[in-house]
């Protein structure tokens, strides 16, 4: 009986950790703007909005896994994948040949 209670407690702990991770929505939130450009990504839950000035915006979803982030914009079946790092209020995105730095607003 004691071992059964330990197992139930362990399962409950794993469930709490899983629900907490799911609620974080990839761990990104807020608006990150490309340095020197009027281009930004706004993250909320698992949603992302890509905006270029006041002339263009697109919405979609994002997902992170390790050091990779992928964006799937509404109406598209393809995901855009990048390597990313966050240090303080800076995010760096890289596609393997070009890296860009964004600053959290």
Residue 101 pLDDT > 90: yes
Provide the whole-model pTM: 0.70
pLDDT at 9: 42
Q: What is the 3-state secondary structure (H, E, C) of the chain?
A: CHHHHHHHHHHHHHHHHHHHHHHCHHHCCEEEEECCCCEEEEEECCEEEEEECCCEEEEEEEEEECCEEEEEECCCCCCEEEEEEEECCEEEEECCCCEEEEEEC
What is the rounded average pLDDT for all residues in the chain?
Answer: 80
Domains of the chain by start residue, with CATH: 26-104 (2.40.128.280)
Q: Tens digit of pLDDT for each residue in 53-92?
A: 999 999 999 999 999 999 999 998 888 999 999 999 999 9
């Amino acid at each position: 009986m004691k071992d059964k209670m330990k197992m139930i407690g362990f399962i409950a702990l794993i469930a709490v950790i899983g629900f907490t991770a799911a609620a974080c929505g990839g761990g990104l939130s807020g608006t990150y703007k490309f340095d020197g450009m009027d281009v930004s990504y706004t993250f909320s839950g698992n949603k992302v909005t890509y905006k270029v000035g006041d002339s263009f915006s697109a919405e979609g979803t994002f997902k992170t896994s390790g050091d990779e982030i992928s964006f799937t914009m509404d109406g598209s079946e393809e995901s855009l994948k990048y390597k990313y790092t966050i240090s303080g209020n800076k995010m760096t995105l890289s596609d393997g040949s070009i890296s860009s730095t964004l600053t959290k607003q």
